[in-house]
Structure 1
Amino acid sequence: MVKYFVPFRQIRQQPTIVVDSTGLGAVLTLAHWRGAATPDGLRDDTSAGSVLRALHQPNTPGLEAAAVTANHFDIDGFVGVWALLNPALALRHEHLLRLVATLGDFREMNWLDPQADHALQLVCWLNAEEKARFYEPFGAPARRRREDEASAEKFAWFLPRFAAVLENPEAGRAAWEPEYLRVQQGVATVQRPATTIRRYPEIGLTVVCMPEPLPYYALFGATAGTDVVLSLYSGQRYEFEYKYTTWVDLESRPTLPRLPLDALTARLNQLETTPRRWTFDGITDTGPLLRLSGKSLTKVQRYADPDQRPIYVSSITPERLEQEVVAFFRAGYAGIEPKRYWTWAEIRTAGQREEA
């Protein structure tokens, strides 16, 4: 059966497959959101990955529905929706589409993969056209619009145009090239001797030391397989971040739960002698940051690349900051084993244990 996209508000008007979202009345949910009703055999790190698994299992209950929806527009969700509407082409490009969804959602890429360059071009094309023709991710509320309603316009524009760029990236070069070149420069920076990377696998931490902030697509490639990142920039400028990998249900590997950062923030504020204060976002944010505060960042600014926002000078040395972060997580994770499919209730319980 030929499938078609419907706006999220129409989910109850016909049997509908929900991608990268949850919604009452869905006949099939294909999402990596924590607690989503994705069938066990279709679970994947990305929602697009769950869609591709479903396409290999055409007898999946609910897959016969013609209507497809999502309650927001992002790269992973878009790829999943597009794949359901274009199954033969999606399966022909399955590996490439998996790379696109992973880079779009987790900002991770193995740059040695033969299709990495192509995936980056597609992601940059989607980003550029989205911002130029519509609004940036998380930008709907500032325009007094609901994302689940406004995003339907993005799907309507991208769905009939994506295949042409998928099969011939040159067709979209004018749009994707500026961000593509910026990311490639960042990847080269990560690979230079001036950048050092330290991993603490027992707490899922990667520490990246580099001269200047980089685009996420360059920064997070070096952090694949871990879930928390401490970025140490020259001039004692720092950011700590929980990656999106701990907001969703990863299928490929176990993870540790997010811990509230109140105690770590209080400790850093004891050490900080500049007028600025350390602040942090709540653990249910998609990518919570711990950083020295200036003017509060909007969700759009927090989602944007580190090189697109101010990062302030701290009085704390990088060695001391790294010691404090490592000590905090080693203590907090003592006695907690990594696992798959944490519930938010379990994560809150782990956080209360750490606070106690």
Structure 2
Amino acid sequence: MKYFVPFRQLRQQPTIVVDSTGLGASLTLAHWRGAATPAPLRDDTSVGSVLRALHQPHTPGLEAEAVTANHFDIDGFVGIWALLNPELALHHEHLLRLVATLGDFRETDWQDPLADQALQLVCWLNAEEKARFYEPFGAPARRRREDEASAEKFNWFLPRFAGVLENPESGRAAWEPEYARVRQGVAAMQHPGTTVRRYPEIGLTVVRTPEPLPYYALFGATVGTDMVLSLYKGQRYEFEYKYTTWIDLESRPTLPRLPLDALTARLNALETTARRWTFDGITDTGPLLRLGGKTLSKVQRYADPDQRPIHASSIPPAQVEEEVVKFFRAGYVGVEPRRYWTWAEIRAAGQPEQA
């Protein structure tokens, strides 16, 4: 029988590390860039790597009884729960993969018969986490270390998750508010007032829709691409690199993130309002390019677009789209998509070639 230990206890016994990295791990099951996950177990999500390991019980290191992670999120939690409940996890394998993908990448195929149940589980985890503990990335504001504070979340959720997995109605009071908001967003994405344009050669999806939406609704149309430009009415815009290019994606090759300095400078040259375009660094989990106001905290940037202010620009939407597409088409000349970029290679790809 396996058991959870706080991350600080990693070296006190043979320990499996999930959705994290740590020196001294008996086995690493993580999709983080450069993680020491054995090649046969690599997967898009850390849950996927755990499930692959459960199908290969003789994997070296899997015999360790202790399991840990250095943070709490849906992918990491479900991966640890699966190691502690292998039979139930394999019975619900497809559903758990959907939960991990929705939780981490905010993507799902709404035609999948289990997509709705996956959304309910994700919303239950989100709601209980915020109500009983603190929101994602909220530990520093409470002067706590995430690797220490998150242990309390694991200890609460681990014995309770199976009940909601097998009987979602038992968690309805918690999951229904966010679930209803996301389903409204999904309906908005399917409404004629929303258009979706894809530029597969640069990995970009452009979504034009009247109002900002929850990520779980917005990103459903972006599966297979790694950048999203959202164009809302009132000339409000956000560009975002998806989390799919922060981790080592197994299922398909990707292009490296490019620094957004030149694109931001171009938009600022066009902008005639008093606001300035700002951007996050490429090593952020989900960097945003947006018209600036008060600086957003990490908690606000991780929150849904409909939960933060998005300011009106003077630039018409067609021109914003044109500038973004032009920037990436030029930046990716001579760059081929592939798997397993290192951060050093990503930074190098964003540097102009020396004459």
After the TM superposition, which residues 186-335 of structure 1 pair with which residues of structure 2 at under 5 Å, given as runs?
A: 186-335=185-334
2:150 corresponds to? 151
2:100 corresponds to? 101
Q: Give secondary structure in 2 for the equivalent of 1:26.
A: coil
Q: Give secondary structure in 2 for the equivalent of 1:338.
A: coil
Q: Give secondary structure in 1 for the equivalent of 2:196.
A: strand
Q: Give secondary structure in 1 for the equivalent of 2:201.
A: helix
Please say if 1:40 is aligned against 2:39. yes
User: How far is 1:255 from its partner?
Assistant: 0.2
Cα-to-partner distance string for 1:172-223 (whole Å, 9 max, x where unaligned): 0000000000000000000000000000000000000000000000000000
Q: Which letter maps to 2:257?
A: R
Contact persistence 1:259–1:354 (CA under 8 A)? no
After the TM superposition, which residues 46-125 of structure 1 pair with which residues of structure 2 at under 5 Å, given as runs?
A: 46-125=45-124
User: How far is 1:353 from its partner?
Assistant: 2.9
Contact persistence 1:54–1:60 (CA under 8 A)? yes
TM-score by length of 2: 0.99
Q: Give secondary structure in 1 for the equivalent of 2:193.
A: coil
What is the CA–CA distance in structure 2 between the aligned matches of 1:163 and 1:114, rounded to whole Å?
A: 20
TM-score by length of 1: 0.99
What is the CA–CA distance in structure 1 between the aligned matches of 2:157 and 2:332, rounded to whole Å?
A: 43
What is the CA–CA distance in structure 1 between the aligned matches of 2:354 and 2:229, rounded to whole Å?
A: 21
Q: Give secondary structure in 2 for the equivalent of 1:202.
A: coil
Q: Which letter maps to 1:194?
A: G
What is the CA–CA distance in structure 2 between the aligned matches of 1:286 and 1:354, rounded to whole Å?
A: 26
What is the CA–CA distance in structure 2 between the aligned matches of 1:316 and 1:222, rounded to whole Å?
A: 25
Q: Which letter maps to 1:328?
A: F
Q: Which letter maps to 1:347?
A: I
Unpaired runs of 5+ residues, structure 1, are none
User: How far is 1:355 from its partner?
Assistant: 9.7
Q: Which letter maps to 2:317?
A: P
Q: Give secondary structure in 2 for the equivalent of 1:98.
A: helix
What is the CA–CA distance in structure 1 between the aligned matches of 2:167 and 2:352, rounded to whole Å?
A: 52
Cα-to-partner distance string for 1:110-159 (whole Å, 9 max, x where unaligned): 00000000000000000000000000000000000000000000000000
What is the CA–CA distance in structure 2 between the aligned matches of 1:220 and 1:194, rounded to whole Å?
A: 17
1:352 corresponds to? 351
What is the CA–CA distance in structure 2 between the aligned matches of 1:98 and 1:275, rounded to whole Å?
A: 45
Q: Give secondary structure in 2 for the equivalent of 1:238.
A: strand
Q: Give secondary structure in 2 for the equivalent of 1:283.
A: coil
Q: Give secondary structure in 2 for the equivalent of 1:347.
A: helix
Q: 1:186 to 1:92 in 2, by over 3 A?
A: same
1:27 corresponds to? 26
Q: 1:262 to 1:355 in 2, by over 3 A?
A: farther
What is the CA–CA distance in structure 1 between the aligned matches of 2:354 and 2:170, rounded to whole Å?
A: 53
Contact persistence 1:199–1:205 (CA under 8 A)? yes
Spell out structure 1 runs of 4+ moving beyond 6 A: none
User: How far is 1:354 from its partner?
Assistant: 7.0
